[in-house]
Structure 1
């Protein structure tokens, strides 16, 4: 079964498009991608198929009947409109498909990594691209009787009996064979698209899926300036589907840590702004650092030109687009929009209930880390939502909940999310080792372990994460004699990461639970040790002002509380002074379990856990370290034997 984007064809599709979409989905190979009406350079081809052994094929789908056709030739077709009988002139569908695939090919030829560098086909795309037409209400015999094959050659046509699985003449083998033959230039030795090639094609054609890439110096080729790009990263197809097909009106996305929830939300914000340029769109989250990171991510998406090749042709570029999306953390938005603090909220809600207050209206509201939003916050936001659009997207992970929800979403928002929720279960952020380690800790310590399910919309359910195949080292557990020794170990490992793995400082974080106690000022020791070793750092959580100044790409090690690191990630994370967890002054231990889980899942590749005292969590880590040592001893004994 092929992967499709969107996952399900929208209701606006014609019956013929729906038929072809479902047939391709069921009868093309699993590693093929089928796009329905993607917007590419201002055009919307009906279907675009990408397959490793296929290349790229564009299809135009028409529901014309024999009585619809009045006059046809190589260029234009005159159609008789059903009902009115009015004559309409349209472009030959063959030429429509051809023009669309040429537009796509010309776009992709500007990337030097996608073209043939030498030989007979120098300058052409290194993979095949073709096009064809599908006539869903005419059979092959109709084409023969009407002489239509004289206008469009048979190899570029699929008829009803070739795409309708209920027709006795349908054959999966013939369908695939015909799609493989829709090329004006055919080669017996067809180039196989690699995963990197497909990433690059999606990166160029669909701006919403872009995450990052390395832009190297552009190169000249046959007097043409070409992009040179490496390490391209795009959303995976499940995330892309989620962003494109969240659907209209209110929606809920539940996802595990590292599943790309924030990325889906940011992409969704851009899609909404693009489709509805007159909408007022609000994005909110709980923490200040995450709000700054979100704002920078969304602004980057708007500053980046739709056509990446404008990056090397400044003369044709219109410059960065203004980001029309408002991004705040909740308390900042409350001050900005109402000039009030949270304690005044009940009074405002009473006034809204009595229709005595005027509130700002938003056509779309998107909430990240929604599990930490209080019921009163959600009720206020519901009052600010345009009742005609009801476009509220709530993104959350209950395993990362710092504050437990007391009532149901329906009560909090006035909206029923049943049938409107989606789940992201795959952790793309962390290595399999980190995912397994963090989840085993959570299952051991969380009181909610009996609530683990893929479950209902309301209630408290935790989604178990599925790891990707990305692997790395096991999390490092280090018991030390004191905090000074901890920081000596941390700074030495930071130097190794920078020297041996080339990890930039901005991709390293030191996370702590408490700043100081009556016994010691941990943050002062962290700062002194980093200063002593000449390691640049940014203490994000020094003050509200330092949180607002936070810039993700500044080349400094980030020092933060675990709370404020929510929604962020780093290649390497050091969780220090773990004996202060669970913190004895906190009544609800479940919050501490969630915090520790959050801290561990901030690490993409390398996780370090250090401590020098005793607590419930350090005892657990001691047990894990002892089991590791025993396993290593047994393995060594077997090798010696």
Structure 2
């Protein structure tokens, strides 16, 4: 079964009757290795072909789908079709010419990328895969079309570039259907596209799914000659992530995803989409201050920082109080708690308006209290009613309980029928994910839940293989600090950028001591010792990040050291919380994970067993 993006079964996917019928045929009659996009804008010109089909062995196909009936076609020629409508005669482009122009524009863009061009042979200079174009008439049979076209038919609508109503029936033979599609190509190549090449084509077709801002045309000679794998040059959303992100409609949506499954990436894509369609501002909330800083950097990278407001939840509460000149209520509770209570009270009294935002997106929903969610839901404009809640119960580290003790509907989130689960972890290597899960599995037992509650989902491996994590036990803290510093220096001498490394520690005094050690050797670093430094975090700054386990949530780095594990206390009441914190810290590592300790406790002994 082919993958169709967006999901054609979603009620929000806008299709004509004929487009949906043809999409169903593609899904049913094509195999799993076919990728199909419906009505997704491509390239810089943002053209909207009805369907794009990509197959590793066949190539790229661009199709226009028309629900026209023969009785409504008044005349046709090489350039235009004249249709009879309720408003009179209307000229439309010849759909073959329409598909051809779209195909040529895309192909010309792809051919600027040296890694997607044939380097030699009879096809030298051509795209690495064949391409074709055609038209589908969902309400006109082959016989009707041939009769209407007459002698000039082949020049106006070449027969091999057309699929007719009677050739896309539910009972149509899959092989016959596919042959009609591939007859639209002028040539074939024996070599199949690699997965990195497919991802690179997707990145050119749909720039919004790129992870990062790398210029795809800035290809080195080594890459162009094949000496460098193109996967090292571009990263894009995977197919499940893209399908889910493009299939969101209006209303409330909930995504339960394991660590590293791309929840934040999906949030960013949704922001990009909403920024192009919403007139009111868009609000993004999370619990972690450093994650908020990272998300703001992401919005700047995508050029949507003016439309999308990103806040740590308590910062947003403070901003609301300042904007509407609301005094903080008195009480013995901490300031941050009184800020939340003050906003809730002011909204109830009408001093702070509801419906301020065209959409609200919440990352780290597992750390939000019921009262916070109930407050935030009121901030959504009821005309758009657009909410996205992202959640991973395994990363719920700020509550005594390991899961929400309330239903989503009780706080105003209408999630039934609008929930999705992401089980595949793409951030970590297989070895890192298995190591982290083996360490924490006693506290991460998978549990089911209905759509109005939140499940705990066991992660499944989706990433590549790599080096096994390592655990090093040192004699004392000075030795541990020295060892960490030397590791960072060694990695950097091997070509790893400073901002691709992070040290995650347990207590601030260790982080401060490590910062002093690194400063002595002129190693650039940012120690997130307080809220001010957390807000200053910019992932693009070339410096090693020194961060606590809670503040590391939502972040990721190619190389991570989880340090100071010997300083954890063997407190049985806090064990579940400590293990979850360590699980979060370990799963920040994309490629290399090193754990260090200079003391003795149950955590150190457990690491010694599983290492």
Could you state the TM-score of these two structures normalised by the residue count of structure 1? 0.85
The structure-2 alpha-carbon separation of the partners of 1:415 and 1:360, relative to structure 1 and needing over 3 Å to count, comes to closer
Counterpart of 1:175 in structure 2 is 177
Between the aligned partners of 2:134 and 2:511, the Cα distance in structure 1 is 65
Pairwise CA distance, 1:219: 8.6
Q: Which aligned pairs between 1:252-401 and structure 2 lie closer than 5 A?
A: 252-276=254-278, 278-302=279-303, 323-339=306-322, 341-355=336-350, 357-359=352-354, 361-401=356-396
Q: Secondary structure at the match of 1:619?
A: helix
Question: What is the rounded CA distance, in whole Å, between the counterparts of 1:188 and 1:375 in structure 2?
Answer: 58
> Which of 125, 130, 133 does residue 132 from structure 2 map onto?
130
The residue number in structure 2 matching 1:545 is 532
The 3 A distance-change label for structure 1 pair 619 and 270 is same
Q: Aligned-pair distance for 1:429?
A: 0.4
Partner of 1:511: 504
User: Is residue 415 from structure 1 mapped to residue 383 from structure 2 by the alignment?
Assistant: no
Contact 1:582-1:617 at 8 Å conserved across structures: no
Residue aligned with 1:234, SS: coil
Alpha-carbon distance change, 383 to 189 in structure 1, aligned in 2, over 3 angstroms: closer
Q: Is the 8 A contact 1:128 1:190 kept in 2?
A: no
Choose from 507, 523, 541 the match for 2:511.
523
1:156 pairs, out of 154, 157, 161, with: 161
Q: Which of the numbers 473, 477, 493 marks the counterpart of 1:483?
A: 477
Q: Match for residue 225 of structure 2?
A: none
Name the SS for the 1:103 alignment partner.
Answer: helix
Q: Could you say if the C-alpha distance between residues 524 and 59 of structure 1 is closer, same or farther in structure 2, counting changes exceeding 3 Å?
A: closer
Q: Which residue of 2 aligns with 1:57?
A: 61
Q: Can you list the C-alpha shifts for 1:529-551, whole angstroms capped at 9, x where unaligned?
A: 32344432211x22222111112
> Partner of 2:557 in structure 1?
570
Cα distance per residue 1:9-45 (max 9 Å; x no partner)? 5442011111111111122232221000111223211
1:243 shift after superposition: 1.5
Distance apart, 1:191 and its partner CA: 4.9
Q: Show CA shifts across 1:483-506 (max 9, x none).
A: 222223222222332233x22111
For the residues of structure 1 that align with 2:485 and 2:341, how far apart are their CA atoms? Answer: 47
Name the CA distance, whole Å, in 2 between partners of 1:416 and 1:219: 47
Alpha carbons of structure 1 residues 214 and 63: separation in structure 2 relative to 1, 3 Å: closer
Moved more, 241-250 or 211-220: 211-220
Q: CA deviation at 1:400?
A: 0.3
1:121 positional shift: 4.7
- Asked if the contact 1:337/1:360 (under 8 Å) is kept, the reply is no
State the SS of the aligned residue for 1:470. coil
Is residue 70–residue 79 contact of structure 1 (8 Å, CA) maintained in 2? yes
CA contact (8 A) 2:511 2:529 kept: no
Shift of 1:120: 5.4
- Aligned residue for 1:67, secondary structure, equals helix
Counterpart-to-counterpart distance in 2, 1:12 and 1:617: 53
Q: Residues of 2 paired with 1:574 and 1:581: CA distance?
A: 16
Give the Å deviation of 1:159.
Answer: 1.0
Distance 1:454 1:260, change over 3 A: farther
> For 2:247, which of 228, 245, 248 is the aligned residue?
245
Q: Does 1:535 align with 2:554?
A: no
CA–CA distance in 2 between the matches of 1:134 and 1:115?
29
Conservation of the 8 A alpha-carbon contact between 1:511 and 1:561: yes
Residue pair 2:321, 2:343 contacting (<8 A) in 1 also: no
CA distance in 2, matches of 1:217, 1:94: 30
CA drift at 1:624: 2.0
Question: Closer, same or farther in 2 for the Cα pair 1:85/1:504, shift >3 Å?
Answer: closer
Rounded to whole Å, the distance in 2 between the matches of 1:243 and 1:620 is: 39
Among 430, 433, 437, the alignment partner of 2:431 is 433
- Whole-angstrom distance in 1 between the partners of 2:25 and 2:159: 20
Q: In 2, distance between residues paired with 1:245 and 1:580?
A: 46
| Distance in 2 (alpha carbons) for counterparts of 1:258 and 1:126 | 32
Distance 1:85 1:209, change over 3 A: closer
Deviation of 1:476 (Å):
0.7
SS at match of 2:547: strand
Poorly superposed stretches of 4+, deviation over 6 Å = none
Deviation at residue 220 of structure 1 after TM alignment: 13
Deviations 1:407-457 (A, max 9, x none): 222222x1221111111111110000111111122212x1x52xx135323
CA distance in 1, matches of 2:192, 2:386: 42
Q: Secondary structure at the match of 2:211?
A: strand
From the superposition, tell whether residues 245 and 460 of structure 1 become closer, same or farther in structure 2 (CA, over 3 Å).
closer
* Corresponding position of 1:94: 96
Looking at structure 2, the residues matched to 253 and 322 of structure 1 have their Cα atoms a distance apart, in angstroms, of 23
Q: Which string of whole-angstrom CA distances, capped at 9 and with x for unpartnered residues, describes residues 43-74 of structure 1?
A: 21100111111111111111122322222222
> Which runs of structure 2 are paired with 1:167-246 in the superposition (5 Å)?
170-183=172-185, 186-212=186-212, 214-215=214-215, 231-246=233-248
- TM-score using structure 2 length: 0.89
Please tell me the root mean square deviation across aligned C-alpha atoms, in Å.
2.5
The structure-2 alpha-carbon separation of the partners of 1:32 and 1:460, relative to structure 1 and needing over 3 Å to count, comes to: closer
Consecutive unaligned residues in structure 2, runs of 5 or more? 222-227, 323-327, 329-335
Task: Name the structure 2 match of 1:316.
Answer: none
Moved more, 557-566 or 1-10: 1-10
State whether residues 511 and 562 of structure 1, in contact with CA within 8 Å, keep that contact through their aligned partners in structure 2. yes
Are 2:436 and 2:586, in contact at CA under 8 Å, matched by a contact in 1? yes
- State the shift of 1:94 in Å: 1.2
Shift of the 582–372 alpha-carbon distance from structure 1 to 2, 3 Å rule, reads farther
With over 3 angstroms needed to count, the CA separation of the structure-2 counterparts of 1:85 and 1:164, relative to structure 1, is farther
| Aligned residue pairs, count | 580
- Give 1:562 deviation, angstroms: 0.7
| Equivalent position SS for 1:259 | coil
